[in-house]
Structure 1
Amino acid sequence: MSDRPVHAGGELNPELIEQARRAMSRGDVPGMAIGVLHDGAAASAGLGVTNIEHPLPVTGDTLFQIGSITKTFTVTALLQQLERGHIDLDDPIRRFIPDFAVRDADVSATVTLRDCMTHSCGWEGEFFANTGWGDDALAAMVGRMSELPQTTPIGQMWSYNNAAFYPLGRVLEVVEGAPFEQVIRRSILEPLELEGACFFAHELLHRNFAVGHTRRDGRTMIARPWAMPRSSNPVGGIVASVDHLLSYARFQLEGGTLLGDSLRLAAQRPNGPAADTPSVGLGWWLAGDGEDRVVEHGGGANGQPALLAMLPERSFAIAVLTNGSGGWLAAHELLAWVKQAYFGIEDAHATRLPESSLEDCTGAYETMLDRYEIREDDSGRTLSGSVLGDWLEDMDPPTSAEPWIVPVERATGDTLLMSPGTPSEQEASLLRRSDDTVGWLRLHRRAVPRVHHQAG
């Protein structure tokens, strides 16, 4: 096998494509686009089809919903405003949105741009609503945030927070005096020449684009609706190709006139609460250290999981766009393979402590959309989960209401292992209150509050 992911002729290594094909098959993903940037050389490839009902081949310029990777564009545009002296990261949101409010009055008055960018604002994050398609959609969405309760203390820990990006997007509108989509288009999409990248369905009807798919009753079907509400555009609204993402990754790795190097690089370093690890950057998720450092963000539009990951010290980036609900695992499986095959990086695994008790963390944990429960009894140690509601209105098919349950074991420290010792093994973390009791279960990067302590 070649030791480089991109061949001199500008094509992806065939072994990389074969690994992507296998991951795609295991995840029942109808289509996948892969793009790689390494030492300045870029290449992309497409596999499968855009739509099982009206199939077209996926290519490097097929448009996908990139979901929450959009958050890094939102932050980059704000960093441009910082560079121009129009904002400061420690400005309170109320400097720009005087009537901003969540349920907690003190948080409403003090929360800053940095708190939101680092997912440390602490209010309920799984909040979505359709406020129409007019230019006032985002302002109306911010106005609805007054109902959001705090789930973690502001500034003390991070928890993935979609709702933090509504006020960030609205700040851009206020500073620039233009709708969010126009700000992103003229500040990032046009300077990087990302022609065809867009926000709205009517902008891509003449292009090759993918629709999302999911599994239901043993078969793959189209996930509807395709579009997210306009109010969610700062959270996850960009539609782009892997070729677009490679151009964006080139800027993030190599720099350019879009943003000065000091701010570009600072965003890719720890910026979250100092006592909370692993840390977060400004809009980016961070893992590893030294030459093995990974800067990444994923996305999850309806049936279209996506991933953009960079290894800055290796001058490497990979973008994976998929149109099947199994694409999230497929993308991370491919990232893990690439890291090992080309750079010798093995993902660290927590040490299993199968005999360690879970007594201090048993009970229920809830957000607005999900409920989890840790149990330890005669039948074993388990973590179960169930969906309390769909994140998107009128989802067809709806999110499965069927609960799931997996074995769970304790690992070193406050790490839990779900499905330990299997290919599906995942980590979760216990977060503690000031009195050292477990207050949250951090799962899928979300700190879920404990609402019930199971009796012994």
Structure 2
Amino acid sequence: MLCSSFALPSWAADDSSKIRAAVDAAIVPLMAEHDLPGMAVAITIDGKPTYLNYGVASREKNTPVTEATLFELGSISKVFTSTLATYAQALGKLSLDDTPGKYMPQLTGSAIDKATLLHLGTYTAGGLPLQFPEDVSAAGAAAYFQQWKPDAAPGVQRRYSNPSLGLFGNLTALAMKRDFAELVQTQLFPRLGLTSSYIHVPASAMPSYAWGYNRDNKAIRVNPGVYADEAYGVKSSAADMLRFVQLNLDPGQLAGPLQRAVAGTHVGYFQVGDMVQGLGWEQYAYPVSLERLLAGNSPAVIMDPNAVKRLVPPQPAFARTLFNKTGSTGGFGAYIAFVPDAHIGIVMLANRNYPIAARVKAAHAILRQLAAADK
């Protein structure tokens, strides 16, 4: 397990060589085993950042990875969608108890309209699939939801779903009467102080955009689908993501509605085994064993319906909590974890989609080295 004490070891915040040794021990063999072209790792300990970069952003150009390299975040984008929703809630633009028909009248009276925005944001609407069917286009998304038939009542099961989270983000944008990508890029990112994060990467930032690599080592980038912006569309750097982690470690750095928005994503709503589902982040009681962390990030939790227990009232899941989220696209794999009580967080961005279990094991090993005063 991770440490039973939350005091940081005396060297953790000061000795960069020991931090590098701990990260190298986990990352170097990980990259070799999974043939990762490049990786950006960022660590925060007691508010102090450390950046460790490995390999290349482009094998063709031999461009080295830096903390400014842009990686596709995949489903970690869902945390930003959730933060935008809690920001809209803090501004009084929506309530998580609203149903979709309030913002998309064509859905009024349909099965999906029995679910709330909270259900959509926690994948508990009743069985929306992982992906849209291939024949569904952006123009046909509303019709898809009109015709959708649930497998269960809202709030009974969790089934991880891009359509669910995508609709959640789209409804948030409708509530705020702006385009979703515009809201994230011109309102949310600047207010969070993120200067190298994008949904649509501008020409000026393209030189920093890494190439991802598929199983055949072909250089690729994400092919956007329906609700891609909302569900898996963010590209960002290790430097920006570490700043975002630091804000989540201490939302008090922010003011007013934005502080409430970030804190709002830390609320636990549904328990799924040892994991608690919030808006975006998934939560575990800390210390957390590797076995429990792997179980919560397992294919069974990602791919299958899982029974849930509603937390009433909604509340921070545990007094001491590890928050995490994975993200993948065809050519990229990412993982973030942080523990507010230990003042520590990690960002791992790679330009290959490699097994989630390998990411979790590496991050757990690093956190164990850096955060454990007692083992």
**Quick one: higher RCO (CA 8 Å, sep 6+), 1 or 2?**
2
Contact kept in structure 1, 2:111 and 2:149, CA below 8 Å: no
Structure 1 Cα separation of the partners of residues 128 and 63 of structure 2: 39
Contact 1:71/1:235, CA 8 A, preserved across alignment: yes
Q: Cα distance 1:212–1:345, how it changes in 2: closer, same or farther (>3 A)?
A: farther
Aligned with 1:197: secondary structure? coil
Could you tell me how far apart the structure 2 residues matched to 1:72 and 1:337 are? 24
For residue 21 of structure 1, what is the aligned residue in structure 2? 28
Structure 1 residue 183: Cα displacement: 0.5
Contact 2:130/2:160 (CA < 8 Å) preserved in 1? no
Q: Distance in 2 between matches of 1:66 and 1:92?
A: 28
Give how far 1:124 is off: 2.8
Hey, what's the Cα distance between the residues in 2 that align with 1:327 and 1:49?
Answer: 20
Instruction: Give the equivalent residue in structure 2 for 1:236.
Output: 232
- Identify the match of residue 275 of structure 2 among 265, 278, 285: 278
Partner of 2:51: 44
Structure-2 residue corresponding to 1:157: 157
Taking a change above 3 Å as real, the CA distance of residues 60 and 162 of structure 1, as seen in their structure-2 partners, is same
Instruction: Report 1:1-400 matches (<5 A).
Output: 4-7=11-14, 12-100=19-107, 107-128=111-132, 140-203=140-203, 206-216=206-216, 221-222=217-218, 224-229=220-225, 231-255=227-251, 256-257=254-255, 259=257, 261=259, 264-272=262-270, 278-289=275-286, 293-326=321-354, 328-344=356-372
Contact 1:24 1:330 in 2 (8 A): no
Q: Does the CA-based 8 Å contact 1:33-1:322 persist in structure 2?
A: yes
1:160 is displaced (CA, Å) by 1.1
* Counterpart code for 1:326: Y
Distance 2:24 2:82 in 1: 32
Alignment check: 8 A CA contact 1:129 1:229 kept:
no
User: Which runs of 5 or more residues in structure 2 are unaligned?
Assistant: 1-8, 287-317
Q: Say if 2:211 and 2:351, in contact at 8 Å, map to a contact too.
A: yes
For the residue of structure 2 that corresponds to 1:250, the secondary structure is helix
Question: Structure 1: how far apart are the matches of 2:35 and 2:152?
Answer: 36
Q: Deviations over 1:358-398 (max 9, x none)?
A: xxxxxxxxxxxxxxxxxxxxxxxxxxxxxxxxxxxxxxxxx
Where is the helix percentage greater, Structure 1 or Structure 2? 2
Q: CA deviation at 1:100?
A: 2.4
Distance 2:357 2:200 in 1: 27
Contact 1:12 1:44 in 2 (8 A): no
The answer to which of 32-41 and 171-180 deviates more is: 171-180
The TM-score, its normalising length taken from structure 1, stands at: 0.66
Mark the CA change 1:139 to 1:311 in structure 2 (over 3 Å): closer, same or farther: farther
2:131 maps to a residue whose letter is: F
- Number of residues of Structure 1 aligned to a counterpart in Structure 2: 334
Q: Is the 8 A contact 2:87 2:260 kept in 1?
A: no
Is 1:131–1:141's contact at 8 Å kept on the other side of the alignment?
A: no
Using the TM superposition, name which of 192-201 and 318-327 deviates more.
192-201
State how far apart, in whole Å, the 1-side matches of 2:96 and 2:265 are.
Answer: 11
CA change 1:57–1:162 in 2 (3 A) is: same
Aligned-residue sequence identity (percent) comes to: 19
Deviates more, 1:274-283 or 1:159-168: 274-283
What's 2:4 paired with? none
| Secondary structure in 1 matching 2:157 | coil
Q: TM-score normalized by structure 2? A: 0.79
Distance in 2 (alpha carbons) for counterparts of 1:160 and 1:261: 27
Q: Which segment is superposed worse, 201-210 or 49-58?
A: 201-210
**Counterpart code for 1:247:** R
Shift of 1:143: 3.9
Look up the SS of the partner of 2:62 in the other structure: coil
Q: 2:112 is paired with a residue of what secondary structure?
A: helix
In the alignment, the residues of structure 1 paired with residue 257 and residue 134 of structure 2 have an alpha-carbon distance, to the nearest angstrom, of 33
1:199, distance to aligned residue in structure 2 (A): 1.5
- Alpha carbons 1:123, 1:148 under 8 Å: kept: no
In 2 relative to 1, CA 262–128 (structure 1 residues): closer, same or farther, beyond 3 Å?
same
| Cα distance in structure 1, aligned partners of 2:189 and 2:24 | 28
Give the distance between the partners of 2:35 and 2:374, measured in 1 at CA.
Answer: 26
Equivalent position of 2:315 in the other structure: none
- State the shift of 1:210 in Å: 1.5
Whole-angstrom CA distance in 1 between matches of 2:223 and 2:18: 33
Mark the CA change 1:192 to 1:11 in structure 2 (over 3 Å): closer, same or farther: farther
Provide the secondary structure at the position in 2 that maps to 1:37. strand
Coordinate RMSD, CA, aligned: 3.0
